[in-house]
Amino acid sequence: MVADVTAGPETGTGATPAGDPLLPRPFRVVAVRRDTHDTVTMELAAVDGGDLPFAPGQFTMLQAFGVGEVPISISGDPARPGALTHTVRDVGGVTRALCAVTPGDVLGVRGPFGRGWGVADGTGGDVVVVAGGIGLAPLRPAVVAVLADRDTFGRVSLLYGARSPSEVLFGGELERWAAGHGVDVEVTVDQADPTWGGRVGVVTELVPGARFDPQRTLALVCGPEVMMRYVADALTTRGIPPHRVRLSVERNMRCGVGLCGHCQLREHLVCVDGPVFALDRVRRQLAVREL
């Protein structure tokens, strides 16, 4: 079974990887930016000079040669397929090697894989983006896509929670999105420090105050699984239909094309059927802890 990467949660939004989906394609590191003490954003360019078209919400299997590969969501601008961007947090051996790259290094890339956010399904209505921690990275392409066609959407709200002020991602962009694009940006942290003048608390607490028309809203959610469960409940309590709430589900993906079964979530293979799912497709599964 080879992944169908031509469709988003409801409609076609993906891009089919060229060549053998199990064969890494070499990409050279063009630039590296350290976002937090354990997170970096890197820009890659194909050694062969070709583009890598992708849909917001898709991921690649990113390989540090001689160490291993891991699934990493694409965090770049879908309108710039020649600049492949990933935001990586150091949480283990492979991601530690990826976070240590410098310009000129070469990495292996397979993909893009999976089903995306289906941003176009929100056209004509409001969009609510809810992120926790590094979950903002997979959502960044969706926000960029919405803002590139801003006039076709209604109110856009971005609710973001981080553990501390020093772990807020894309701080400069958050300010630009709010100031220059009419995005209602609300940021909260679990623990403040003396420099923080914003809200303190969990991101779920931002949902009741967000401004949107529930019946014409598309909600995109990414973060720790427990956070997504509570946010999904809060959004549906506000009246957003479950099929209009979309979650990016993280699983232990190994192959990216539905062969190995490592990412199975009951009847779903996350690398093929996801990683983005409408809430009505996975609500029962998310309610079972440690599934």
Please list, residue by residue across 101-125, b when 16 or more beta carbons sit within 10 angstroms of its beta carbon and e when fewer do.
beeebebbbbbbbbbbbbbbbbeeb
CATH number at residue 227: 3.40.50.80
Q: What pTM was computed for the model? A: 0.92
181/54 same-domain check: no
78/194 same-domain check: no
| Helix-, strand-, coil-residue percentages of the chain, each rounded to 5 | 25, 30, 40
pLDDT tens-digit readout, 36-89: 999 999 999 999 999 999 999 999 999 999 999 999 999 999 999 999 999 999
pLDDT tens-digit readout, 260-283: 999 998 899 999 999 999 999 999
92/124 same-domain check: no
Domain boundary among 93, 113, 133: 113
134/86 same-domain check: no
- The domain total for the chain is 2
Give the Cα separation of 159 and 168 in Å (integer).
12
204/74 same-domain check: no
171/260 same-domain check: yes
From residue 70, give the alpha-carbon distance in Å to each of 53, 76, 107, 225, 268.
20, 18, 12, 19, 20
Tokens coding 93: 């051996």
pLDDT tens-digit readout, 14-33: 444 457 899 999 999 999 99
Domain boundary among 113, 137, 157: 113
CATH number at residue 42: 2.40.30.10
Cis, bond preceding 24 (omega within 30 deg of 0): no
Q: Is residue 48 part of a domain?
A: yes
Domain boundary among 86, 113, 140: 113
Q: Is residue 20 part of a domain?
A: no
80/108 same-domain check: yes
From residue 285, give the alpha-carbon distance in Å to each of 177, 227, 229, 280.
34, 15, 10, 10
Segment among 9-18, 121-130, 140-149, 193-202 with least mean pLDDT: 9-18
109/125 same-domain check: no
Could you tell me the residue range of the domain that residue 217 belongs to?
119-286
Q: Is residue 209 part of a domain?
A: yes
Average pLDDT (244-255) is 92
Q: In what order do the strands lie in the sheet with 39-46?
A: 68-73, 59-64, 106-113, 25-36, 39-46, 84-89
139/176 same-domain check: yes
Q: Is residue 208 part of a domain?
A: yes
Contact between 86 and 44 (Cβ < 8 Å): yes
Q: Is residue 11 part of a domain?
A: no
123/169 same-domain check: yes
Question: With the CA atoms of 178, 161, 271 and 235 taken in that order, what torsion angle do they form, in degrees rounded to the nearest 10?
Answer: -80
pLDDT tens-digit readout, 178-189: 999 999 999 999
Give the Cα separation of 78 and 119 in Å (integer).
12
Is the pLDDT reported for residue 97 higher than 90? yes
**Cα radius of gyration rounded to whole Å, the chain:** 18
Average pLDDT (243-261) is 93
78/205 same-domain check: no
176/277 same-domain check: yes
Q: Is residue 9 part of a domain?
A: no
In this predicted structure, what is the pLDDT of residue 250?
86
Q: Is residue 175 part of a domain?
A: yes
**Residue 122 amino acid letter:** G
Among 241, 225, 17, residue whose Cα is nearest residue 121: 241
Q: Is residue 12 part of a domain?
A: no
